[in-house]
Structure 1
Amino acid sequence: MTRTPPSAVRPVLVTGALGNLGRLLLEELAGRGVAVVATDLRTPATERAAAAHPGVHVDWADLRDPAEVRRLVATHRPRALVHLAAIIPPAAYHDPDLTRAVNVTATGHVAEAVAAAAEPCRLVLASSMAVYGSRNPHTTEPGVTAQTPARPCELYGHHKLEAEALVRRVPSHVVLRVAAVVVPDSLLALDPESAHLEALLPVDGRVHVVDGRDVATALAAATDPAVDCEGRTLLVGGDDSCRLRQGQLTEEMTAAVGLRGALPPGLPGDPADEDGWFCVEWMDTTEAQALLGFQHHSWPDMLREARAAVGWKRPLLRAAAPLARLWFSLTPPRRGRRGPWAHVWADVTARWGDGATGR
């Protein structure tokens, strides 16, 4: 964990390296024989994650401190930097000021340090499809491209769009707009807040998912100097089987882990409301797939792996599903909810505050 890469080898520096996606990227880069430096905020959780990767050099840092970021880049002289560090929804909605400090201000520090580095360094940003904002599936054609105008409608999407602008100031950069990430063997670790958000979304909304390992493959490929993706904005989502409706995603995912029916039945979105949809959409991944070659896990693959990961716990979870459903039904804003339409942003602000919409 404390071994420093040889000075002749310029590593890939990964921020937010000890979260779920970061750990998958560390494994992908190691499998490619790439020297890696991992950085993250030091907490009990990240210390445990670091202990699980004893061959990776970890340099703890708080990216909100520009001096710390400059030190990281100057010390390790990375040939590429993958910027994963971010607070994602719904955790992002709890403290808008902290979220901005991590998602925007820290990204600015990273971009400035890379731009000022003595040696060229490719900066790869993990952005999000949230930049496209609310898209009514009844009035818009399915699918977005890199050229589709960004129209964020909540805090995270606004922050990611600002982060993209900061990263594009760096001469050598790549922006990857990532779909909804699924880590099949970690679905049971979904926290109650995330499950609650899932239950509020319009069941007829379009959502694109992608296996976390495929995102790691795309990110690793984007750091490869032989891959001609510099200056591009690429859309990273799963194959055609990963283009789902929200209701299908929820039903099949909960069934895979033995919790079928744990979430109360969802409501459709209002076809007349252009702003009443969550910030997810199907994406055109053609260019990204051609350049990065990352689509290796289909939606059925993810479901099979999720079922296998749960294993013997499935009967116990099936028995617990009615209790989980009751709990969600009695928790505001689900309690007393009436149809016929989902009101996702009213429900989100009722639970997490007005700051969730970034207004």
Structure 2
Amino acid sequence: MRVLVTGALGNLGRVVSAELRSRGHHVVTTDLRTKATEKAARRQAGGTHLWADLTDADAVSRLLDDAAPDAVIHLAAIIPPVAYDNPRLAYRVNVEATRLLAEALAARPGGPRLVFASSMAVYGSRNPHTSSPPVTATTPPAPPEIYGAHKVECEELIAASGVEWTVLRVGAVISSDQMLSVTRDMIYLEGCLPTDGRVHLVDVRDVARAFAAAVDADCAGRTLLIGGDASHRVTQDELSTRMTAAIGFPGVLPHGRPGDPARDDAWFSVEWMDTDEAQSLLDFQRISFEQTLREARAKVGPLRLLGPIGAPLGRALLGRGAPYRGRDGAFADPWGVIGERWGKDVLA
């Protein structure tokens, strides 16, 4: 098949494209032209690359004419915390570009299947004291912030567009490389989250397997949940503890706060998911959480021995900018902190 991948030069897009090529598909990649994507494009092996601005209707039409795809995997998006820095741009890229793509595909009779990357963020706050996991494809969405709201709007417009579609709601994507390249904003955002919140992880390579399988699997018109195997069902505290230990900096992150059992609205948009149907149709779960951690340990190598020495200093430095430093109360308030840091416009 000829498969068009949007957002193909991002962290997930590169792995998805490689997985498609390994299955014998001809991959046409596209992304917005920037210095970073030009550098990534030079490293790309095989296939065809076309530059395109998906927020431009004419550019989208030309892209589809030139790519002539049998299927489209739509990954292009701005995700948090970057989405919170510029909510208007995030809406254009996340929603308006998806609308233009769906409309252009619908105008082509017998057009290609659209496989859309959604997110577990659609489910909104999940209080583990008052809700039972896992969420399913029929669990009602209730996003309290813009990213989850963008994904819900995209799912609805795709379903109404007339194209053949599959929606994959993806959990918290991890990779050994990601563990070694986090930003201060990412650390701050993670520090907002209740330490006892449930989160469903999934290795980036398993995500790629799911998307590659979805281009021709018997899953048209389905919404499927993409998370890792049972080892990937953890709490936020367990995630932070095990990841920082794997890269040799145990305890480097400041201690966060647990969630308030009495407030259903003060939890983050993460939850354990029911992946049985997705696994049955797409057969994508291969990698355990421990395997990803082992790979991270191997990449750090002997430098891990220096981590415990530097961890106390790192914790002290990060602690100065911790979300709850100097705040009254015993419980986390993620949406309150996010609204203060990035503005009320990021709350839906």
Specify if TM > 0.5.
yes
Q: Could you say which residue in structure 1 is the equivalent of 2:227?
A: 237
Q: Secondary structure at the match of 2:116?
A: strand
Name the aligned partner's letter for residue 263 of structure 1: L
Q: CA RMSD in A?
A: 1.3
Q: Could you say which residue in structure 2 is the equivalent of 1:52?
A: 43
TM-score under structure 1 length normalisation: 0.94
Of the three residues 160, 165, 171, the one matched with 1:179 is: 171
Q: Could you say which residue in structure 1 is the equivalent of 2:195?
A: 203
Give the C-alpha shift of residue 52 in structure 1.
Answer: 1.1
Structure 1 position 333 matched with structure 2 position 323: yes
Structure 1 position 299 matched with structure 2 position 280: no
Which consecutive unaligned segments of at least 5 residues does structure 2 have?
A: none
Name the aligned partner's letter for residue 319 of structure 2: S
Distance in 2 (alpha carbons) for counterparts of 1:241 and 1:287: 18
Give the C-alpha shift of residue 338 in structure 1.
Answer: 3.7
Q: Which moved more, 1:233-242 or 1:298-307?
A: 298-307
Give the C-alpha shift of residue 351 in structure 1.
Answer: 1.3
Q: Could you say which residue in structure 2 is the equivalent of 1:190?
A: 182
Structure 1 position 164 matched with structure 2 position 155: yes
Q: Could you say which residue in structure 1 is the equivalent of 2:258?
A: 268
Give the C-alpha shift of residue 327 in structure 1.
Answer: 2.3
Q: Secondary structure at the match of 1:184?
A: coil
Structure 1 position 249 matched with structure 2 position 239: yes
- Counterpart contact for 1:201–1:342, Cα < 8 Å: yes
Name the aligned partner's letter for residue 320 of structure 2: L
Which consecutive unaligned segments of at least 5 residues does structure 1 have?
A: 1-9
Name the aligned partner's letter for residue 152 of structure 1: P
Number of residues paired by the alignment?
A: 347
Deviations 1:240-290 (A, max 9, x none): 111001110111111111121111111100000010000000000000000
Q: Could you say which residue in structure 2 is the equivalent of 1:7?
A: none
Q: Secondary structure at the match of 1:59?
A: strand
Name the aligned partner's letter for residue 218 of structure 2: D
> Identity of counterpart residues, as a percentage?
55
- Counterpart contact for 1:104–1:162, Cα < 8 Å: yes
Q: Secondary structure at the match of 1:327?
A: helix
Distance in 2 (alpha carbons) for counterparts of 1:170 and 1:15: 20
Q: Secondary structure at the match of 2:332?
A: coil
Distance in 1 (alpha carbons) for counterparts of 2:206 and 2:14: 13
Q: Secondary structure at the match of 2:51?
A: coil
Q: Could you say which residue in structure 2 is the equivalent of 1:355?
A: 345
Deviations 1:187-230 (A, max 9, x none): 11111111111111101101000000000000000012xx1000
Distance in 2 (alpha carbons) for counterparts of 1:328 and 1:315: 21
Structure 1 position 23 matched with structure 2 position 14: yes
Q: Could you say which residue in structure 2 is the equivalent of 1:323?
A: 313
- Counterpart contact for 1:243–1:282, Cα < 8 Å: yes
Distance in 2 (alpha carbons) for counterparts of 1:316 and 1:155: 40
Distance in 2 (alpha carbons) for counterparts of 1:134 and 1:36: 37
Distance in 2 (alpha carbons) for counterparts of 1:333 and 1:264: 10
Distance in 2 (alpha carbons) for counterparts of 1:49 and 1:313: 27
Give the C-alpha shift of residue 118 in structure 1.
Answer: 4.3
The change in CA–CA distance for 1:53 and 1:164 in structure 2 (over 3 A counts) is: same
Q: Could you say which residue in structure 2 is the equivalent of 1:99?
A: 90
